[in-house]
Amino acid sequence: MEVPVLRFISVIVIGLCAIWSGAATAQEIPLDKITVPDGFTIEVYAPDVPNARSMALSPTGTLFVSTRRAGDVYAVVDRDQDQMADEVITIASGLNTPNGVAIRDGALFVAEVNRILRYDDIEARLRNPPHPVVVYDELPSERMHGWKFIRFGPDGKLYVPVGAPCNICDRTDEDERFATITRMNPDGSGHEVFAHGVRNSVGFDWHPVTGELWFTSNGRDRLGDENPGDTLNHAPQIDMHFGYPFCHQGDIPDPEFGEQRGCDEFTPPAQTLGPHVASLGMRFYNGSMFPDSYRNQIFIAEHGSWNRSPTAGHTGYRITVATLDGNRVTDYAVFAEGWLDPDNRSWGRPTDIQVMPDGALLVTDDRVGAIYRISYGG
């Protein structure tokens, strides 16, 4: 089904498309506050990408970037291949929290709160996007945790999380898809639940060797400053249950729901992350630029806490690395930090991570409205 009204919006937006040239904007970003390991460099890949959230890279190098609050979708283009963006083009606007983007067979898939759209042959028509086709429009419409990160898995299916529509509740009797990760065929058919008990996942990836799914999930709020932690999880098969709303981080029974089912009934996390760090985008590093010790390890964008007490201070606002030995996490450490000032005020929020063909990492920041590039020079 096509959506004529969105074509009208797209034409207007392209007529007013945002084309960026801005060295001045880049100079205003305080990169000197960000620390990375020795031998690494962080720079601005693209400034002036308002509310930049999730990323999807096409085989030909166009970077598609979503937003959450802005309602826009961008194409970020590096025409001269100098590893710096030359142009940012708004290809869609007025959408309903279009947090998720994915590429398949030349088409751009965009996830709104309650539906999945598809823009066919998009790279040939960046300045004149086609009518979006509605792939699926039967997702829940609840806005809390309704924004969606999407990706195509190695099985060719589109994976779509459906967050819990609350801080803590059990509404699976209304819709079994609440607090899950679902998947569907590219045409929207065959929609099914893949993983249960997932409060709110806004990032996942598949191991480059095993092809198994790993994902981050945001822990519940209002159980104190230090509990529960966010989690990194491993889902090698369908129908696993990760505990929500009954158990948090694998070992904390929920005060309201914990008596109904015990923590030992569920799959524990592969790693408990920091409390309230808001772990969002994650990627396995499969590039060749970084030292070998980073290969097939997981980079996580921690967006940062919002409701810890002033005395406890914020957590997150950084990029971390989870080191694996097989399927076991052996280390969880900070890779890049500095978006949180010593006075406990944040100026930026890492949101998603993308490994580029040259091996560099791109990181979106939805507060600054920019994309960073992290490279290694030895």
- Is the pLDDT at 10 greater than 60? The verdict is no
- 348 in Cβ contact with 367 (< 8 Å): yes
**Cα separation of 246 and 198, whole Å?**
11
- Is the pLDDT at 7 greater than 80? The verdict is no
Residue 202 lies in a domain: yes
**Cα separation of 283 and 298, whole Å?**
6
- Please state the three-class secondary structure of the chain as a single string: CECHHHHHHHHHHHHCCCCCCCHHHHHCCCHHHCECCCCEEEEEEECCCCCCCCEEECCCCCEEEECCCCCCEEEEECCCCCCCCCEEEEEECCCCCCCEEEEECCEEEEECCCCEEEECCHHHHCCCCCCCEEEECCCCCCCCCCCCCCEECCCCCEEEEECCCCCCCCCCCCCCCCCEEEEECCCCCCCEEEEECCCCCCCEEECCCCCCEEEEECCCCCCCCCCCEEEEEEECCCCEECCCCCEECCCEECCCCCCCCCHHHCCCCCEEEEECCCEEEEEECCCCCCCHHHCCCEEEEECCCCCCCCCCCCCCCEEEEEEEECCEEEEEEEEEECCECCCCCECCCEEEEEECCCCCEEEEECCCCEEEEEEECC
Residue 326 lies in a domain: yes
- Is the pLDDT at 168 greater than 60? The verdict is yes
**Cα separation of 195 and 106, whole Å?**
28
Q: What is the pLDDT of residue 73?
A: 98
Residue 268 lies in a domain: yes
User: CATH number, domain at 181?
Assistant: 2.120.10.30
- 257 in Cβ contact with 250 (< 8 Å): no
Domain enclosing residue 263, as ranges: 35-50+113-119+135-376
Q: What is the pLDDT of residue 25?
A: 65
- Is the pLDDT at 3 greater than 60? The verdict is no
Q: What is the pLDDT of residue 181?
A: 98
- Is the pLDDT at 368 greater than 70? The verdict is yes
Q: 51-90: per-residue pLDDT in tens?
A: 999 999 999 999 999 999 999 999 999 999 999 999 999 9
Residue 333 lies in a domain: yes
Q: 222-242: per-residue pLDDT in tens?
A: 999 999 999 999 999 999 999
Residue 239 tokens read as 């129908």
Q: What is the pLDDT of residue 378?
A: 77
- Is the pLDDT at 1 greater than 60? The verdict is no
Residue 79 tokens read as 């025409």
Residue 289 lies in a domain: yes
pTM above 0.85, yes or no: yes
Residue 210 pLDDT grade (very low, low, confident, very high; cuts 50, 70, 90): very high
Q: 104-126: per-residue pLDDT in tens?
A: 999 999 999 999 999 999 999 99
Q: 297-354: per-residue pLDDT in tens?
A: 999 999 999 989 989 999 999 999 999 999 999 999 999 999 999 999 999 999 999 9
Residue 10 lies in a domain: no
Q: How many domains does the chain have?
A: 1
